[in-house]
Amino acid sequence: MSGAVACGGALGALARHGLGVLFPAAPPAFPWTTLVINTLGCLLIGALVGWLVASAPHRLAGPFLSTGALGGFTTFSAFAVDVEALVHLGRPGTAVAYLVATPALALSAVFAGTALIRRVRPAPPAPPAEDVPTERTR
């Protein structure tokens, strides 16, 4: 399992690095690249969770994709460093906007991803109610 996580993490980190090279955003500019990476990663993790619930994938698919690839792709530490850099460079308003936008967009993206997968591929039905013990059946 550790190998799957490591391989996924390497791929995710390379993807994040590639986007950072293609779309550089050094302070004092608004860190759009990190915001988009984290939001996209959250959308994908939401979709992945929905897919894992509705499917029976290989046992390494979840660790490879979630902890590995998406964990390596998204970056909380870069978010924190960007906020500090913006404050240090005298852009507190931009720092606050980024500080508010990132978790708001991240959570919205997770909800959107799970909702999308639930709509496209519903979870398997729950077991019949008679299989669940109740006060009457105890």
Contact (Cβ atoms closer than 8 angstroms) between residue 82 and residue 27: yes
- In degrees and rounded to multiples of 5, residue 31 shows phi and psi of -80, 65
Contact (Cβ atoms closer than 8 angstroms) between residue 96 and residue 30: no
| Residues annotated within a binding site | 71, 74
| Residues annotated within a binding site for Na(+) | 71, 74
**Contacts of 37 by beta carbon, 8 Å cutoff, 6+ apart:** 16, 19, 20, 73, 74, 75
